[in-house]
Each structure stands twice: as C-alpha cells, then as structure tokens.
Amino acid sequence: MPELPEVETTRRGLAARAVGQRIERAVVRNRSLRWPVTDGMEAAVAGARIDAIDRRAKYLLFDCEGRGRLLVHLGMSGRLWVVPRDEPLAKHDHVDLELSNGLSIRLRDPRRFGAVLWLPAGAPEHMLLSSIGPEPLTDAFDAAYLYRVTRNRSAAIKLVLMEGGVVAGVGNIYANEALFAAGINPRTPARRVGLPRLGRLVSEVRAILARAIEAGGSSLRDYVDSSGQAGHFQDTFRVYDREGRPCTVCGAPVRLIRQGNRSTFYCVKCQR
C-alpha cells in the first residue's frame, strides 16, 4: 500500500484532525506486528497532547508533548485513519489512539508488516531512524550525492534507488516510474550511470513524488487516506502494472522482469 506519497498524504490528513488533541487512551488488540508493539506504550502516551505529526522516510512520528515519540510504520498493508471512537471494529484493527475530540486514530494492518514503537525522549536515536538516507524532496538529495554513493555499487540502479540508506522512502512503484521518466534501464549497474543521467533521475524522483502527493497518493487494491479518500496517481502510471501494454512514448510493449524479488516494469526502447 504505502510508499512515501501515501504516507505523506496520511500524515497531512491526520495532522489536520489530531494535532493539539490529547490521546486519552491507547488500545492495543494485537501486539504482534513486525516487531511487538512496545511494552508500556499505552501508559506512556496516555494523556499526552499530540504536538506534531512528522514523517521520516515512511515512518510517521507522533510527537507526544515532550515525553517522546510514537513511531508508526504501515508496512505493506497498513492503513491509519480517523474514525468516530465507536466505529465498529474490523478484523485487523490492531491499535486505536482515542483522542479528546471523540475521534480515534485507528491502525488496520492485515499482513502485520507494520510497526508501532514508543521512542522515549532523551533515548539515543532509534536504529530504524539513524540509518536512513536523505529525504528525496530536500536539497540533500542531489546529483552529486547520488553520484558519490553509487560509485562502488555494481547492483542494479533500481535496487539501489529503493534502498532506504541511499534515499528515503522510494518504493517499487515510484522507482519504476522515475526510471522510466529518466530514460534509464533499471538493470544498469548503479556505478555505470553517469552524473548527468543521475541528475535527471534525481529530478524525476522529486517531480513524481511531488505530483503523487498532490494527487493524494496511488490507490492500488484498497489504499485510502486518513479520511477514507482514494488517491488517483495510479491513473498516471506510465509503466507500473502495465506489462504488455504499449509504452506511452514509443508504443513498444512494457516489459516485466524480477529484480530482488520485486516486479520491475520498463520500456526496452525508451530506457537504455
């Protein structure tokens, strides 16, 4: 479900309705997510005001009035949205944050690849956050940076682009789309891509992520934002999920291959 644009869309929706509210009570119905929900998280956040909701890569961070931060990751199938507190529970509704305005922030995650962790104030930065690369929409992510970190990398450019330590939050959909837009074959060893083409790639990653955020993210299967609204960026996919269909530029059929156990879609003619 969620790549960076979907997480950012979720963040904005949540921030509009939850910042300034207090968490009256946290309810955990199933602790076995990717890692167990932190023991004592409920007590730690009870009564705390949510001062801000930030995003780092695909992690959402709820700033709990100086006590610490609640980290939420949506994994592959997670969804976080705002419901009336008495909204009936569905099968995979694992966590609720009951707010002082009568609403609840609810986490539903069928596959349970997501995470909910409590990061107390003053603790050393969590490992999950300390090894993340620059945010793609900041100036730290530029051609010179990408050039530097890829010089000794023989792995395919697409796999490297999807590594969180290289750049934060670029997942499978947007890696495919950005490489198409930049005209780069996803199988090219990263070190073989020169500075000008990396510059093009950086620009396209940024442009595509920005447009996807504007469009409210991409809705495949069942993704909806924090108020239940579907995104519509999927309508503009040029290669993702278009195997065999004509390339929108040259008409050649879009090809599907596997890289790192993930689907890669690309145009053999337009991406060299």
User: In this chain, which of 62, 81, 118, 223 binds DNA, going by CB under 7 A?
Assistant: 223
Binding mask 45-84 vs DNA (x if CB under 7 A, - otherwise)?
Answer: ------------xx--------------x-xxx-------
Q: Which of 22, 58, 106, 108 is catalytic?
A: 58
Q: Quick one: 26 or 157, whose CB is closer to DNA?
A: 157
Q: Which of 25, 191, 262, 269 is catalytic?
A: 262
Asked if residue 236 binds DNA (CB under 7 A), the reply is no
**Which residues does 73 contact at the CB level (< 8 Å), separation at least 6?**
34, 58, 59, 60, 114, 115, 116
What 3-state class would DSSP assign to 91?
coil
Asked if residue 2 binds DNA (CB under 7 A), the reply is yes
Per the annotation, the verdict on 246 as an active-site residue is: no
Site for DNA in 110-149 (CB under 7 A): 110-113, 128
Asked if residue 177 binds DNA (CB under 7 A), the reply is no
Q: What is the H or E stretch that residue 200 is in?
A: helix 195-214
Among 74, 9, 145, residue whose Cα is nearest residue 161: 145
Q: Per the structure block, which two tokens stand in for 214?
A: 């504007």
- Rounded Cα–Cα distance for residues 191 and 194 (Å): 8
- Rounded Cα–Cα distance for residues 240 and 136 (Å): 20
User: In this chain, which of 17, 49, 85, 153 binds DNA, going by CB under 7 A?
Assistant: 153
Q: Quick one: 27 or 149, whose CB is closer to DNA?
A: 149
- Rounded Cα–Cα distance for residues 150 and 146 (Å): 6
How many C-beta atoms surround the C-beta of residue 70 within 10 A?
Answer: 26
Asked if residue 263 binds DNA (CB under 7 A), the reply is yes
How many C-beta atoms surround the C-beta of residue 174 within 10 A?
Answer: 24
User: In this chain, which of 84, 88, 91, 244 binds DNA, going by CB under 7 A?
Assistant: 91
**Residues binding DNA (CB under 7 A):** 1-3, 6, 34, 57-58, 73, 75-77, 91-92, 110-113, 128, 152-156, 159-160, 162, 164, 169, 171-173, 217-223, 260-263
